[in-house]
Amino acid sequence: MYALCGAFLKAFKERVESQERRPSTLKNYVLVCRLVIRVFGKNRLVSDLGQKDWRKLRAIMAKKWGPKTLHDEMVRTIVPFNWAFDADLLPAPVKFGVSFDLPSEKTLMEHRNKRGEQMFEAHEIRTMLGAAGPALRAMIMLGINCGFGNADIAALPMSALDLERGWVSHPRVKTAVKRRCKLFPETVEALREWLVVRPEPMNPEHGQLVFITNKKHAWSSEDGTLNPLSLEMKKLVTKLGLDKGRVRRPTFYDLRHTTQTIGDECGDYLAVRAVMGHKGKNDISDVYRERMSDARLEKVAATIRGWLFDGHEDGTPDVLQFGQAQ
């Protein structure tokens, strides 16, 4: 077991070094392999594994995680064994059987329904903008304006920004799908305010990154630590009490859900998909579609901006008062 996991992780690390896979994904597989070795034993032969073993592993995982995370971790568990067979390290495919079946679509949907909507309301976002510091404020603006996730924020280079014209163009980190987004005037303002106080990074390799932490590091979890953006967002949400009355605490990634949900109201599904960096499954049109007109992308931005800022009557400050927030 130990040898199989070691061989898989070594091969995966080579893909990371060639920049074909992400370090964070390698980290996830390391954790999975550790769990498998702990449960089965480092010297256990793969050929000795039976339904009782897979049932035991699944029970341990199900006790630790909810249905969605359980599904993802089970998929990751299967990958090293399938890889080992393809790499001729195993004489036959591993039979996981019914004892290691993935949670059903119905179970996943029921779990999602119990968690409630994974998005922010406009007044909640405005409240966060008023309370956040320059860096997090600019990140929140990119999150709702462009559907940026944590990895997108951490990897965003200066070259992706055109603040004079109000655009950001950078492929989605997770899929490498090219994306372009029209920036709100408020997003441009937030970015400008941040860049004035942005510290110089400790590592020269991070010199072109838009966002640098107060400790002069990248906003990334690639070093094995918890994602700094997730931690800062957690602090802000808790401080403002935005987690009250919810089944789960809102996260930065919920801004991406909000962008999709509100953006869809513009009526141009393909334009929203272009902003989000999504790629349709088996959609040959994506192969032939080379670009999206600025007018369509601007319509998406205008729809979200109107929802976020126009006509609010809850007393939250105008976003143009950013500079007054600490």
14 vs 5, 23, 239, CA distance in Å?
14, 11, 42
Question: pLDDT band for position 325 (50/70/90)?
Answer: very low
For range 224-247, the mean pLDDT: 86
User: What pLDDT, on a 0 to 100 scale, did the predictor assign at position 291?
Assistant: 82
Structural domains of the chain in order of their starting residue, each with its CATH number? 2-115 (1.10.150), 122-324 (1.10.443.10)
User: What pLDDT, on a 0 to 100 scale, did the predictor assign at position 312?
Assistant: 56
Q: What percent of the chain has pLDDT over 90?
A: 73
CA–CA dist 25, 324 (Å, integer): 39
Specify the range with the lowest mean pLDDT, choosing from 56-60, 173-177, 310-314.
310-314
User: What pLDDT, on a 0 to 100 scale, did the predictor assign at position 313?
Assistant: 45
Predicted TM-score of the model (pTM) = 0.77
User: What pLDDT, on a 0 to 100 scale, did the predictor assign at position 281?
Assistant: 67
| 306 pLDDT more than 90 | yes
158 vs 121, 137, 145, 163, 191, CA distance in Å?
30, 17, 17, 10, 11
In sequence order, what DSSP letters do the residues of 8-69 get, joined into one string?
HHHHHHHHHHTTSS-HHHHHHHHHHHHHHHHHH-TT--GGG--HHHHHHHHHHHHHHS-HHH
User: What pLDDT, on a 0 to 100 scale, did the predictor assign at position 322?
Assistant: 45
For residue 41 the two structure tokens come to 């034993």
Specify the range with the lowest mean pLDDT, choosing from 149-153, 237-241, 289-293.
289-293
For range 243-268, the mean pLDDT: 92
User: What pLDDT, on a 0 to 100 scale, did the predictor assign at position 19?
Assistant: 80
Mean pLDDT taken over the chain: 89
